[in-house]
Structure 1
């Protein structure tokens, strides 16, 4: 496939240097949108309704309730706080239901799935995982990645387990996004896959009927980009291997491309057909977390 021009930009969080960086996927030029001073940024999402980027910050102490969520314009000039520090613990990947302007995210050490409306910033707890898997390692209750399957009224999330532990899980549960009082019913949770190396972020590709996830666990199946068939929740496949602490990613379904970020400071472009990948940006002594694409029309 010949690609003449990609009509979007890649936006990635630099967790160690606390930056938001914009990458042009056509020539790989970059510019720093935001430089922060504290905490650890992790997940981000763009809201086309208000033209704002929203990103989570895990705070400075992962054992303390000092997480928060910020927002800014695409030029980085106007910034604000959506969820105040201490209203969430260690927020990770974040998603948006653009129909209701509601943010959804996983709270790792807080052991919860949470949401808030962007206008109020009031945090609602949808699921508390403290009482799950009590006979296992504490980290098996840590929620990390999240995906909103709005077309099929369900939420997917990952519980990564301890580093290189091989006890990660991909789960889903039915969820009524239109119900303002809805919560996740623990009795309705389905473990789609378990004994995964260390699953992290999630993304849905409706066009090709895939649910993708990154995995930063041990090889041979960790440090990878994975997918399964969304409609059947089957046909699990390790798509591309050989990353270095894989975290954030985004999929371009039209051009069969993926952009992947890892904790060791690399952003890759990968061909989902040939399975070839190349580094398009490196942060020396840095590390990347969340990554999304935003249309140039935004």
Structure 2
């Protein structure tokens, strides 16, 4: 962690096992609890730095029921508020914010949807629908999990993880807007970028280089890994495994300015890797199950 800016950066991390939001200095020198008693199953996290807000998803208590929700809290743990109430989304997973346009995007796993709403929770919209019935819901190839945004070029990316260790994972791309006269379940602009992946989970996009990063918690040797591929200029390269041997990999966050990737797993580990150097290292190891990760570029 030799970068001089690390001590000025903060990683916000969801501990899904202990149901907490944690804050780590990005040089690993300190950590603290932002919020306890998150309840349910917290999963994805995103930040509004200007307003000092943390948004996070919660899959609820019953994955087959429409009881998931999205909450918001200030950086200091105050002013907690439900933004997307239960009854709207089944199991919200990774979340991304488009702050310029005042929007949030998330994947709904058992809901088999990619969704969007305004940051105040209004105008909830389904952008992609991969299934409708109980039978569809039981088919895990329909489960949408990770999401990334390319607002400059008008794209969203998402993973459909497939069954656990099943080797049927896929990554898709579509426009941020549903084409005129089309339906979320039948979009002609939907593109399948990669298939037969071990079990892709969370995504992040380096908008400067057009490289997509993702975690995969599928079977080794290709699973339980950090991966990268180019989606630049409309072409997709073969995925590259950057790091393997993880313990149920999930969350990740890019530090584009400093060419680093932070990522975590359910084994209680947080890692940091230089984007273009073959070096992975433990950032922190504890007793939690670290799901969502978000990076605050400047200090608290």
Structure 2 length-normalised TM = 0.91
Q: Check conservation: 2:255, 2:261, Cα contact below 8 A.
A: yes
3-state SS of 1:278 partner:
strand
| Aligned position for 1:247 | 250
Tell me the secondary structure at the aligned position of residue 4 of structure 1. Answer: coil
Instruction: Please state if 1:289 is matched with 2:294.
Output: no
Distance 1:190 1:64 in 2: 29
Q: 1:248-267 alignment to 2 at 5 Å?
A: 248-267=251-270
Q: Structure 1: how far apart are the matches of 2:50 and 2:271? A: 29
Say yes or no: does 1:77 pair with 2:78: yes
Q: Which residue of 2 aligns with 1:4?
A: 4
Which deviations, in whole Å up to 9, do the C-alpha atoms of 1:19-70 show, x marking residues without a partner? 0010112243110101125200000111234321100000011111110000
Does residue 268 (structure 1) correspond to residue 271 (structure 2)? The answer is yes
Contact 2:137/2:143, CA 8 A, preserved across alignment: no
What is the aligned length?
A: 295
- 1:238 equivalent to 2:241? Answer yes
Offset of residue 119 of structure 1? 2.1
Residues 67 and 136 of structure 1, relative CA distance in 2, 3 Å threshold? closer
Q: Distance in 2 between matches of 1:123 and 1:136?
A: 21
User: Which residue of the partner structure matches residue 66 of structure 1?
Assistant: 67
Q: 1:74 to 1:191 in 2, by over 3 A?
A: same
Within 1, Cα distance between the matches of 2:256 and 2:269? 22
TM-aligned CA deviation for residue 89 of structure 1: 0.5
Runs ≥4 in structure 1, deviation > 3 angstroms?
134-137, 181-185
| Unaligned segments of structure 1, at least 5 residues | none
Q: Is the CA contact 1:249–1:258 (under 8 Å) kept in the aligned structure 2?
A: yes
Q: Do 2:45 and 2:54's aligned partners in 1 also have CA atoms closer than 8 Å?
A: yes
Question: Equivalent residue for 1:168?
Answer: 169
Equivalent residue, structure 2, for 1:205: 206
Match of 1:277 in 2: 280
- Give the corresponding residue for 1:111: 112
Secondary structure of 2:100's counterpart equals coil
Q: Report if aligned partners of 2:96, 2:104 keep a CA contact under 8 Å in 1.
A: yes
Shift in Å at residue 264 of structure 1? 1.4
- Structure 2 residue runs without a partner (length 5+): none
Taking structure 1 as reference, are residues 122 and 39 closer, same or farther at Cα in structure 2, changes over 3 Å only? farther
Shift, 1:200, TM fit: 0.5
Please give the alpha-carbon distance, in whole angstroms, between the structure 2 residues aligned to 1:114 and 1:136: 16
Shift of the 190–27 alpha-carbon distance from structure 1 to 2, 3 Å rule, reads: closer
Matching residue of 1:29: 30
SS at match of 1:96: strand
TM-score, with length taken from structure 1: 0.91
How many Å separate the matches in 2 of 1:105 and 1:174?
A: 15
Q: What's the RMSD between the two structures over aligned residues? A: 2.5
Q: SS in structure 2 opposite 1:188?
A: coil
1:147-166 equivalences under 5 Å are: 147-166=148-167
Q: Distance in 1 between matches of 2:186 and 2:95?
A: 20
